[in-house]
Amino acid sequence: MFTGIVEERGEIVAREDLDQAARFSIRGPLVTSDASYGDSIAVNGVCLTVVEHVDGVFTVDVMAETLQRSSLAELAAGAPVNLERAMAADGRFGGHIVQGHVDGVRTVLAISPTPNWTVVRVGLPADLERYVVEKGSITLDGTSLTVSAIGHENDQAWLEVSLIPTTLAETTLGLAQVGTPVNLEVDVIAKYVERLTGAGIARQEKGE
């Protein structure tokens, strides 16, 4: 499990395309400082397993399913990525519950800078819209953020987040442009509540 507090902005060192898979080598001195074989590291919000690491560079294998359902398929050598180690049991819970399981990919629709923060608008898949609420939590490329606004334009749902200078400087969101694909993970608690509530209603209808 992760919290969405990005620890460092790493870089793709190499990519090797395999049969229905890819192997990435990623530079991340901080996240590899105590890494072991089999550890989990979130890369742009995708939970991946360390298969080897040396001199601050770790290697992960990414299967076709993950490539199809995330923006990792777009990455090449030199691309910056957000990195976070799995949360330690005794660590501070600075963000929100993040599983590292991408729910959808949408592009940046607009970027509106102001003197003290920047508003970023991202498309929102229709099947995820019900899980997103204003002032609720959302994960964009592995970064835990607060939804500042939601809405529709031309039958397209969208959400907005307001990024402070630290977030812009320390994560890939500060490098994003209109059209940049972004991994989205909604709050898992909302999905569990929906599932449990639906199951409860179904049982009541059956008289159980």
Per residue in 50-73, pLDDT (tens digit) is 999 999 999 999 999 999 999 999
CB atoms within 10 A of CB 59: 18
Res 45 pLDDT > 80: yes
C-alpha 146/C-alpha 163 separation (Å) is 9
Q: What is the pLDDT of residues 120-156, one digit of tens each?
A: 999 999 999 999 999 999 999 999 999 999 999 988 9
CATH of 104-193, one of 3.40.630.40, 3.30.70.270, 1.10.3720.10, 2.40.30.20: 2.40.30.20
Q: For residue 204, what pLDDT band results from cuts at 50, 70 and 90?
A: low
- DSSP-based three-state secondary structure for 96: coil
**Hey, how many other C-beta atoms are within 10 angstroms of the C-beta on 99?**
14
Domain boundaries, the chain: 8-85, 104-193
Task: Of 181, 102, 144, give the one whose Cα is nearest residue 2.
Answer: 144
CA dihedral angle for residue 45, residue 18, residue 125, residue 198, rounded to 10 degrees: -80
What is the CATH T-level fold of the domain 8-85, as seen in this structure?
Elongation Factor Tu (Ef-tu); domain 3 (2.40.30)
**Averaged pLDDT for residues 40-45:** 98
Question: What percentage of the chain has pLDDT greater than the value 70?
Answer: 95
